Structure 1
Amino acid sequence: MKVLIVGCGAMGRNHVRVYSENHRVKQVLAVDAFQESLNALKDLKNTTTFTKLEDALKEKPDCAIVAVPTALHFEIADKLLDENIPLLVEKPITETLEQGKKLVAKAEKQKTVLLTGHVERFNPAVQALKKNMHLIGKPIYASAHRFGVPTQRDVGSPFIDQAVHDIDVISFLYGQTPKEVSAIERRISDEKSSDLCSAIFEFGEFTATVEANRVTPIKSRELTILGTKGAAKLNYITQELAIFISEHGDYKFNTFDEVFQRIGHGTEIKPYFVKEEPLKVEANHFLDCVEGKAVPMISGRDALYAVAAVQAGQQSAKSGKKEKISI
């Protein structure tokens, strides 16, 4: 199989690495307008580089990954859909909701595979939690923290670059999309855009807070979900997952000492799963979709709601008001 990868910046290089190592891929066609970016790929096997997309298309790729800056997602993806090439577009699917709607509608009309790269869905710990959500009962509240160090790269709003991961994961785990959001966004050290955001997403009877920034001296990506029967704690980076089941339920305490002794008491469960790089899991899923062996785990509707949630969060930060989320 020939895989075309358009955009070989930080994320694009990871895609090239992963697909060049995949035994199902015969050749990787890497495209970037900057030769310097392509030079970084010289040691990767089965990889041919191009500075022009048109030249790479002459090689007749079987599928493509769009990893250019978000502002260019629509332009490149639309051009590749014109060629009826199965696509994986990095998250978020497009810069605006309207652009996303056009891409999804076009892919559906053509019956062309279109997957969005919400890579954290493919994190084995997230998949394990999805399978065991019933253990914590009815979800009540979630809290996500995605903290990173400052970067010199122009990656835009932390809503688009970081928080979108957790918005998608929480929606995936809960099984519904958020309806409203209240948010703030700040610029702390980034010269070009905001680099800190905090949002409260309301799903009806379920609420989730999402915090993301690029100003901390540490890298941290964690998610906690509270349910009526317990709680789950997940570390995206280490792929550690712990589920805590409440042992007392309707237990009535007789004395203060008994209350104190039982605080935090519960059964800890650590589901078994094999740790693996999420991008490699995503790549195999995409190739399965291209070969007709699977349907995209992330639907067009899922991708559009992620964009809508991001836009509503940014709008709330500007207006100072609660904003509705819809597509």
Structure 2
Amino acid sequence: MGRAASAARTVKPPTTAPTASAPKTADAPAPSGAAPVTGPVTTPGTASVPARPPGLHRPPGTLRAGLVGLGAMGRNHARILASLDGVEFVGAVDPAGDPHGSLHALPGVPVLHEVADLLALGVDYVVVACPTALHEEVGLQLAAHGVCALIEKPLAHSAEAARRLVRAFEERGLVAGVGHVERFNPALQQLRARLEAGELGEVFQVVTRRQGPFPHRIADVGVVKDLATHDIDLTGWITGQEYATLAARTVSKSGRPHEDMVAVVGSLADGTMVSHLVNWLSPLKERFTAVTGERGCFVADTLTADLTFHANGAVATEWEALRAFRGVAEGDTVRYAFPKREPLVVEHERFRDAVRDGVRRGETGGIVTVREGLRTVEVSAAVLESARDTGTLALATAPAPPVTPVTSEAPVTTAAVAAANAVPETSAAATPTTPPATTPAVPPVSEQPA
């Protein structure tokens, strides 16, 4: 699969961010360990914006939410924010206006030109659905003003930018998540629960196919960062394992500067084989995940939210002509029935609850944390590096950093949180070192949270 390993890197394993322990509402005080926003706050490249106005009139417990970006994905976020229980949708930012008419039926929700204008209205959290290249700028501005954020995937355009976002939100103890919506697809939720229950036994392989026609909405990233990040995230999530090695190939046939097809093969920390085929070049739209193990195979179709189990052969096939294409034995095939809710609605509900109720340190609160989003960006960077160098990469991991315990005698300060949870300045695209003759052994990976 190409030449020998071309690089090895050390990557922090995902850990959960220290997040708000009290409701982050306009009327509530900042939680212990977070820097209160009491006056104008500025960050490089952003305008000075006054702190959120006090005494906002709304039902008790209602969160004020905003949106940045009213494009193809932003209009779906707007639809859900407008009807989400316990949330007041106060405004959206898009310099291009409202091209899809997402807010026409919401006369009380203005379309604004700057993030500063949205902050001036007083918001508890903001959904960021602007182009990926702007995620870092917008996210840092929100963090500087003490505002929680749900940032669309991928978290940022580069691993370095993603690390800066992780630091910015963790230092302030803010709830911050990434919009990996596939985690909330009912088929994958069921698949993960059944794998955790041991229904498949030992897992041998995870295969995903995510392909379809070219989306004209995407211009600033290629298929790896836009689509393959779904498969990278869901594979690690359903198996509870990190990527250990990978090799990738890409092609670009659409005339745009970024890749529009990628094939990835690799292995997880426990030896599970993985394979991803992702492209924008197929007239067939497909969202397929298959997990094969010692007792059979689960197949999830996330377009229809169906989960099917194909059991290993148990009944001998005596009809000789049939055995030629059915095999020597057949097993049962079961398609499960379960409630199916829109994944994006569930994602919004989980994030709303995390902001309202706070998330204990060491827990995820049911959302995809920015640290998990960082790991996905790092793996996607490794995919692109492997494709450039036509080599196999080993993704080594390091132990999680110690977390300063919270005690009543020693309150956690912003500086202490920052020091305890600082993200090292290592890059997933670090300069390659001289490769050994074979792929380097990957050290054991620490146990990851479910």
The answer to whether TM tops 0.5 is yes
Q: Distance in 1 between matches of 2:391 and 2:184?
A: 33
| Residues 265-305 of structure 1: CA deviation (Å, up to 9, x unaligned) | 22233333211111111000000101116614323332111
Structure 2 counterpart of 1:318, from 388, 391, 403: 388
Q: Distance in 1 between matches of 2:90 and 2:395?
A: 38
Match of residue 368 from structure 2: 298
| Residues 110-135 of structure 1: CA deviation (Å, up to 9, x unaligned) | 21101111010011111111111121
Aligned partners of 1:8 and 1:31 also within 8 Å = yes
Match of residue 51 from structure 2: none
Alignment of 1:193 with 2:258, yes or no, is: yes
Aligned partners of 2:266 and 2:273 also within 8 Å = yes
Q: Distance in 1 between matches of 2:285 and 2:68?
A: 28
Q: TM-score when scaled to structure 1?
A: 0.92
Deviates more, 1:68-77 or 1:183-192: 183-192
| Structure with greater proportional helix content | 1
The offset of 1:218, in angstroms, is 2.2
Change in 2 beyond 3 A, CA 1:167/1:272? same
Match of residue 142 from structure 1: 206
- SS of the residue corresponding to residue 243 of structure 2 reads coil
Q: Distance in 1 between matches of 2:182 and 2:108?
A: 27
Match of residue 340 from structure 2: 275
The offset of 1:316, in angstroms, is 0.7
Aligned partners of 1:38 and 1:49 also within 8 Å = no
- SS of the residue corresponding to residue 357 of structure 2 reads coil
Match of residue 161 from structure 1: 226
Aligned partners of 1:164 and 1:310 also within 8 Å = yes
Aligned partners of 1:66 and 1:73 also within 8 Å = yes
Match of residue 66 from structure 2: 4
- SS of the residue corresponding to residue 149 of structure 1 reads coil
**Rg comparison, structure with higher value:** 2
Deviates more, 1:304-313 or 1:47-56: 47-56
Q: Distance in 1 between matches of 2:257 and 2:327?
A: 50
- SS of the residue corresponding to residue 10 of structure 1 reads coil
Alignment of 1:106 with 2:171, yes or no, is: no
> Percent of counterpart pairs with the same letter?
27
Aligned positions of 1:63-74 closer than 5 A: 63-74=125-136
Match of residue 115 from structure 2: 53
The offset of 1:87, in angstroms, is 1.0
Q: Distance in 2 between matches of 1:96 and 1:79?
A: 18
Deviates more, 1:46-55 or 1:143-152: 46-55
Change in 2 beyond 3 A, CA 1:102/1:293? closer
Q: Distance in 2 between matches of 1:241 and 1:209?
A: 19
Change in 2 beyond 3 A, CA 1:104/1:95? same
How many pairs align?
324
| Residues 209-248 of structure 1: CA deviation (Å, up to 9, x unaligned) | 1111111112111111101111100101100101223254
The offset of 1:29, in angstroms, is 1.4
Match of residue 424 from structure 2: none
Q: Distance in 2 between matches of 1:155 and 1:101?
A: 20
Deviates more, 1:35-44 or 1:102-111: 35-44
For structure 1, the 5+ residue unaligned runs are: none
Alignment of 1:284 with 2:346, yes or no, is: no
Q: TM-score when scaled to structure 2?
A: 0.68
Aligned partners of 1:32 and 1:38 also within 8 Å = no
The offset of 1:27, in angstroms, is 2.2
Runs of 4+ in 1 over 6 A off after TM superposition: 253-256
Match of residue 183 from structure 1: 248
- SS of the residue corresponding to residue 173 of structure 1 reads helix
- SS of the residue corresponding to residue 234 of structure 1 reads strand
For structure 2, the 5+ residue unaligned runs are: 1-62, 360-364, 397-427, 429-450
Change in 2 beyond 3 A, CA 1:302/1:258? farther
Aligned residue type for 2:387: A
Aligned partners of 1:6 and 1:68 also within 8 Å = yes
